[in-house]
Chains A and B, each alone.
Chain A
Amino acid sequence: MKKNINDKSWARWTTVELIVTAVISVAFGLLFMAYSLLYVALVPVFGQVGIMIFLGLYYIIGVLVPYIVRRPGAAILASFLAALTELAVGTPFGIAALWAGLVQGAGAEAVFAVSRWRNYRWYTLILAAIVSGIFAFGYEYILFSYGSLEPVVRIGLFLVRIPSAAVLAGLLGKVIGDALARTGVLRSLRISKR
């Protein structure tokens, strides 16, 4: 028998899992476009540090999709697809958003990888969201040279996003995943099979 040309980790994904990942990522990519405008508009109200209390929502895609499909690579693929959607619709942050998506996805993926993609309990989801935020902080640290800012401000930029990631990405991701599972549309996916 000839082997499938796809490498092993992706070959185990079923087609349904791939396409469901695509549709959820697109929906959130479109949401992020609208959210970015709101976010930018609110910066003068909350300040450059305070606004990061809303930053967590961007990490939700790397939590929700792995929670539903439960496959290796789900966090990275979903974050990448959401960023590509933003790119296709014409985000002003294009290239930067694409790399940010990959970095955030890698953060969440690292947490799921620790349990060898078996543990999807609420605390794992929150941890994945937080690590996603930490990875994103690393990316911004380079992009906007946070290293040259006052140490207090640097700590603020780091700390404010942590509770935001936990709630807006970790908990909200679980709530949305459970709500979707209740509607019955996820019957053919791993979230409903245990």
Chain B
Amino acid sequence: MIFRSYTEGNSFLHRMNPAMKLLTLSLFLMVPTLFLDPATPLAFLLLSLLLALILGRISPFKLLHQMAPFFVVMLGICVFSSLFYGGPKSELLLHLGPVTVYREGVAFGLSIGLRFLCVLSYSSIFVRTTDPTLLASSLIHQVHLPYRIGYTVLTAYRFIPILQWELSNIRDAHKIRGGYREGIWARLGRIRRYGIPLLSNGIRRAERMAISMDARGFGTALKRTYYRPTSLRTSDVLFLIGSVLVIVCTLIGLNRFGLLRGFLAGVAESLVEH
């Protein structure tokens, strides 16, 4: 199971403000990019599993299982980043013809690979615990997106099943006329033959929808009311503050054990070398 969309639940993460959750999880995701050692992304990966378990009521095993197909990708990233590491090197680990592997290279490769897993982990926590409709609502209320744009986001969501249905309709129409073949080239040709009718039908539908919205005076009212408005609660702000504290403590802890290797340190080293 690779695609796992929103699943209903009643955990803290399910209930919290989507925009604030996006901000906080983005913070968790971006902080490891400032460090080049493997320990930092590993610590943040473990933090994500804890976060999922305690605040999201998602089993860490489920989360890892969901990420399993991407372990191959992660391995590829590790090998690539290790082989082409361009920073300061000291200890040669492997020498096979033109291929040289250094200890620092392997550490860097692991760091980037684990960072990739961090991206997947925090992203799936967000996707699984966030109702897309509430995300749109909080973009209007907390990010202050103009409501016509916010409403466009909601309309976009409504089009997802409509377009999927439309696509199967077009596919059936082609099958009835006997134009359905197997194979890679037939598949590629189908993108063109299905794509234009799919888009033009969708646009026709969009036009009708827009006309009926205009007829009902969409965008003219100064104030709108909402079925399920989102608000920013104290617990949301506390979650952000708590997260910042956890991040800072994790970094201090890693530093105490001498595991932290900063991005700026890496830049400084490479400057000294040249």
* A binding-site residues for B, Cβ under 8 Å: 2, 4-7, 10-11, 13-16, 18-27, 30, 33, 37, 40, 43-44, 47-48, 77, 81, 84-85, 87-99, 142-145, 147-151, 153-154, 176, 179-180, 183, 185-186, 188
Establish whether residues A21 and B86, one from each chain, have CB atoms under 8 Å apart when the complex forms. no
Kindly list chain A residues whose C-beta atoms are within 8 Å of the C-beta of B123.
91-97
Best-surrounded residue of A48, A89, A145 (most CB of chain B within 10 A): A145
Establish whether residues A92 and B152, one from each chain, have CB atoms under 8 Å apart when the complex forms. no
Kindly list chain B residues whose C-beta atoms are within 8 Å of the C-beta of A20.
203, 206-207, 210
Q: Is B9 interfacial (CB 8 A cutoff)? A: no
Kindly list chain B residues whose C-beta atoms are within 8 Å of the C-beta of A2.
222
Give, as a whole number of angstroms, the nearest-CB distance from A62 to chain B. Answer: 16
Q: What is the bound-complex CA distance between A91 and B119, given in angstroms?
A: 11
Choose the segment among B52-60, B69-77, B173-181 that binds chain A (4+ C-beta atoms closer than 8 Å).
B69-77
Kindly list chain B residues whose C-beta atoms are within 8 Å of the C-beta of A90.
3-6, 127
Establish whether residues A44 and B76, one from each chain, have CB atoms under 8 Å apart when the complex forms. yes
Q: Is B246 interfacial (CB 8 A cutoff)? A: no
Kindly list chain B residues whose C-beta atoms are within 8 Å of the C-beta of A24.
199, 202-203
A-B pairs with beta carbons under 8 A, tally: 209
Choose the segment among B90-98, B154-162, B235-243, B250-258 that binds chain A (4+ C-beta atoms closer than 8 Å).
B154-162
Establish whether residues A95 and B196, one from each chain, have CB atoms under 8 Å apart when the complex forms. no
Q: What is the bound-complex CA distance between A22 and B157, given in angstroms?
A: 9
Q: Is B198 interfacial (CB 8 A cutoff)? A: yes
Establish whether residues A6 and B219, one from each chain, have CB atoms under 8 Å apart when the complex forms. yes
Establish whether residues A185 and B156, one from each chain, have CB atoms under 8 Å apart when the complex forms. no
Q: What is the bound-complex CA distance between A27 and B127, given in angstroms?
A: 20
Q: Is B267 interfacial (CB 8 A cutoff)? A: yes
Give, as a whole number of angstroms, the nearest-CB distance from B10 to chain A. Answer: 20
Give, as a whole number of angstroms, the nearest-CB distance from A179 to chain B. Answer: 6
Sample of 12 further A-B pairs with CB below 8 A, known A18-B152, A26-B159: A4-B222, A6-B219, A22-B156, A25-B156, A30-B164, A37-B2, A94-B124, A144-B33, A144-B116, A176-B196, A183-B200, A185-B207
Q: Per DSSP, are chain B's interface residues mostly helix, strand or loop, or mixed?
A: helix
Establish whether residues B132 and A88, one from each chain, have CB atoms under 8 Å apart when the complex forms. yes
Nearest A residue to B122, CB-CB: A95
Q: Is B67 interfacial (CB 8 A cutoff)? A: yes
Q: Per DSSP, are chain A's interface residues mostly helix, strand or loop, or mixed?
A: helix
Kindly list chain B residues whose C-beta atoms are within 8 Å of the C-beta of A151.
86
Kindly list chain B residues whose C-beta atoms are within 8 Å of the C-beta of A7.
146
Q: Is B20 interfacial (CB 8 A cutoff)? A: no
Establish whether residues A27 and B199, one from each chain, have CB atoms under 8 Å apart when the complex forms. yes
Q: Is B29 interfacial (CB 8 A cutoff)? A: yes
Known: A27-B199, A183-B196. A22 touches B163 (CB 8 A): no
Kindly list chain B residues whose C-beta atoms are within 8 Å of the C-beta of A93.
119-120, 123
Best-surrounded residue of B25, B153, B214 (most CB of chain A within 10 A): B153
Kindly list chain B residues whose C-beta atoms are within 8 Å of the C-beta of A16.
206-207, 210-211
Q: What is the bound-complex CA distance between A84 and B130, given in angstroms?
A: 12
Q: What is the bound-complex CA distance between A59 and B86, given in angstroms?
A: 29
Establish whether residues B163 and A185, one from each chain, have CB atoms under 8 Å apart when the complex forms. no
Kindly list chain A residues whose C-beta atoms are within 8 Å of the C-beta of B146.
5-7, 10-11
Interface CB pairs A-B, < 8 A, 21: A11-B148, A11-B219, A18-B152, A22-B206, A23-B203, A26-B156, A27-B163, A48-B76, A84-B135, A87-B126, A87-B135, A88-B132, A88-B160, A92-B123, A94-B122, A94-B123, A95-B22, A95-B126, A143-B119, A148-B266, A149-B81
Q: What is the bound-complex CA distance between A89 and B156, given in angstroms?
A: 12
